[in-house]
């Protein structure tokens, strides 16, 4: 296991014990009750059949009610009482496995869910992908059904439209591009075949070229990536001179493009190519920053509403990051709520709570909800850490 991946895994493994000590989780996570006015909001990304199915079985077996986002917000506004044993299931990114795995399992139980889409990265594909409940799906390789890579990593507009018509699923905004931007002239890495594709492309900062931003595989291999931050963090973007990229991009193109990254010394070679090059550029103006964030928020709403016919007034900030400017522009754009991750001092948002900082907890904790077959925290952590370390824990 590479040292960088191991370090990340250790940091993530420590996150839960740390947050338990800091009391950032609701009481039910450690075996306590679910309070009458608590509606936990669970954050998912992808879904795989066995694990996700087990979570839904736990909810169904114990009489939990899944809410739409509007129903949940009505409780927080004290416009309706909280149903007993209610939860909200949210999915970030609009991943392909929501279509292929999560939606048929949810429909089987008659359960609702909210999906936060990234419309600027979505595409139209006439053919709908296979689903878990299709007869032909049984013969498909697991990778084809989970749709973690390639063109199908995100749902198509046609799949979203089909799911919107069922009435079970609510599609809301995760901003237009789920973008990161360069914020300082400090080298952080390079564009590689891995960084260009699938969900890894969300972490690859935007690269400006003439009058547009390049995404994913549009960016030339070897392009230097600088220190970055989420677009909604309010950090001013650093717009580097395109000439900074030339030597690295040319080196990769001359030495095999993707094949260049099979070399064990590819990163050292790129750093050598960049050595002595001053990373010149400029900081964007306040007007440019405001316009860019306004587009991330406003255009996302418009595109989702056009495709689903639904009302898009709920927002989930990428990386749960929002500066004061982003929050102001979100309100101006018509958003009524904003979902985060863990919120300091708020394990679960209760009626009367802050609608601009709605607390969510990870999907791992669904099976800790009170009821028959309730898991223990030790069991949940063991499964969680086994995933982090590639199944090395048994």
Q: Do both 240 and 353 map to the same domain?
A: no
Residue that terminates a domain, selected from 284, 307, 333: 284
Looking at residue 291, its pLDDT comes to 98
Looking at residue 12, its pLDDT comes to 57
CATH number, residue 89? 3.20.20.370
User: Which residue's structure tokens are 């749709």?
Assistant: 147
Partners of 38 in beta bridges: none
Instruction: Answer yes or no: is pLDDT of 247 > 60.
Output: yes
Predicted confidence (pLDDT) per residue in 55-68, tens digit: 999 999 999 999 99
Q: Do both 185 and 171 map to the same domain?
A: no
b or e along 267-295 (b: 16 or more beta carbons within 10 Å of the residue's beta carbon)? eebbeebbeebebebeebeeeebbebbbb
Looking at residue 388, its pLDDT comes to 66
Residue that terminates a domain, selected from 284, 315, 340: 284
Which pTM does this prediction carry?
0.93
Instruction: Answer yes or no: is pLDDT of 11 > 80.
Output: no
Q: What percent of the chain has pLDDT over 90?
A: 83
Q: Do both 170 and 275 map to the same domain?
A: no
Mean pLDDT of the chain: 92
Q: 365 or 136: which carries more pLDDT confidence?
A: 365
Looking at residue 170, its pLDDT comes to 97
| 6 — pLDDT class (breaks 50, 70, 90) | very low
Q: Do both 14 and 131 map to the same domain?
A: yes
* HEC sequence for 6-62: HHHHHHHHHHHHHHHHCCCCCHHHHCCCCCCCCCCEEEECCCCHHHHHHHHHHHHHC
Predicted confidence (pLDDT) per residue in 262-304, tens digit: 999 999 999 999 999 999 999 999 999 999 999 999 999 999 9
Looking at residue 269, its pLDDT comes to 98
Looking at residue 394, its pLDDT comes to 31
Looking at residue 17, its pLDDT comes to 73
Q: Do both 90 and 169 map to the same domain?
A: yes
Identify whether 394 is part of a domain. Answer: no
Nearest CA-CA partner of 357 in 366, 367, 365, 347 = 347
Looking at residue 391, its pLDDT comes to 46
| 45 — pLDDT class (breaks 50, 70, 90) | very high
Instruction: Answer yes or no: is pLDDT of 307 > 90.
Output: yes
Q: Do both 192 and 112 map to the same domain?
A: no
Domain count, the chain: 2
Per-residue pLDDT, averaged over 181-204, amounts to 96
Q: Do both 198 and 138 map to the same domain?
A: no
Instruction: Answer yes or no: is pLDDT of 23 > 90.
Output: no
Distance CA 260, CA 269 (A): 10
Q: What number of other Cβ atoms are within 10 A of residue 243's Cβ?
A: 10
Looking at residue 392, its pLDDT comes to 38
Q: 206 or 389: which carries more pLDDT confidence?
A: 206
Give the range of the structural domain holding residue 206, as residue numbers without chain letter.
180-284
| 144 — pLDDT class (breaks 50, 70, 90) | confident
Q: 220 or 21: which carries more pLDDT confidence?
A: 220
Predicted confidence (pLDDT) per residue in 83-140, tens digit: 999 999 999 999 999 999 999 999 999 999 999 999 999 999 999 999 998 877 778 8
Q: Residues 6 or more apart from 307 whose CB is under 8 A from it?
A: 119, 157, 160, 161, 164
Q: Do both 154 and 216 map to the same domain?
A: no
Nearest 5°: phi and psi at 91? -130, 125
Identify whether 331 is part of a domain. Answer: yes
Q: How many residues are there in the chain?
A: 394
Predicted confidence (pLDDT) per residue in 309-357, tens digit: 999 999 999 999 999 999 999 999 999 999 999 998 999 999 999 999 9
Looking at residue 390, its pLDDT comes to 59
Do 342 and 20 form a contact (C-beta atoms < 8 A)? no
Q: Do both 14 and 156 map to the same domain?
A: yes
Distance CA 75, CA 77 (A): 5
CA 312 to chain CA mean position, Å: 18
Identify whether 393 is part of a domain. Answer: no
Identify whether 338 is part of a domain. Answer: yes
Residue that terminates a domain, selected from 284, 304, 334: 284
Q: What percent of the chain has pLDDT over 70?
A: 94
Identify whether 103 is part of a domain. Answer: yes
């Amino acid at each position: 296991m590479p040292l960088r991946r191991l370090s990340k895994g250790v940091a993530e493994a420590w996150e839960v014990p740390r947050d338990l000590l800091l009391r950032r989780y609701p009481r039910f996570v450690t075996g306590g009750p679910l309070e009458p006015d608590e509606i936990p909001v669970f954050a998912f990304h992808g879904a795989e059949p066995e694990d996700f199915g087990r979570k839904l079985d736990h909810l169904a077996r114990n009489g939990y009610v899944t809410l739409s986002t509007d129903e949940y917000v009505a409780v927080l506004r004290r416009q309706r009482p909280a149903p007993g044993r209610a939860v909200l299931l949210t999915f970030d990114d609009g991943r392909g496995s929501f279509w292929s795995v999560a939606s048929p399992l949810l429909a089987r139980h008659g359960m609702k869910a909210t999906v936060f889409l990234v419309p600027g990265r979505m595409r139209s594909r006439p053919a709908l992908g296979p689903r878990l409940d299709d007869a032909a799906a049984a013969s498909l390789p697991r990778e084809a059904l989970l749709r973690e890579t390639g063109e199908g990593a995100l749902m198509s507009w046609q799949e979203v439209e089909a799911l919107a018509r069922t009435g079970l699923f609510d599609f809301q905004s995760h901003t237009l591009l789920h973008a990161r931007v360069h914020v300082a002239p400090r080298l952080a890495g390079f564009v590689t075949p891995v960084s260009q594709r699938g969900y890894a492309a969300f972490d690859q900062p935007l690269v400006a070229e003439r009058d547009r931003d390049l995404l994913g595989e549009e960016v030339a291999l070897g392009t230097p990536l600088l220190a970055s931050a989420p677009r909604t963090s309010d950090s001013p973007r650093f717009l580097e001179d395109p000439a900074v990229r030339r030597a690295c991009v040319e080196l990769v193109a001359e030495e095999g493009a993707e094949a260049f990254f099979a070399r064990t010394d590819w990163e050292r070679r790129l750093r050598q190519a960049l050595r002595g090059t001053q990373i010149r550029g400029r900081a964007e103006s306040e007007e440019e920053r405001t316009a860019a964030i306004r587009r991330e928020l406003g255009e996302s709403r418009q595109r989702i509403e056009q495709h689903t016919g639904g009302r898009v007034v709920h927002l989930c900030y990428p990386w749960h990051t929002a500066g004061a400017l982003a929050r102001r522009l979100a309100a101006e754009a018509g958003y009524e709520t904003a979902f985060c991750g863990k919120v300091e001092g708020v394990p679960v948002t209760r009626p009367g709570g802050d609608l601009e900082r709605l607390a969510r907890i990870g999907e791992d904790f669904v099976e800790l909800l009170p009821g028959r077959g309730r898991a223990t925290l030790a069991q949940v952590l063991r499964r969680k850490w086994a995933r982090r370390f590639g199944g090395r824990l048994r």
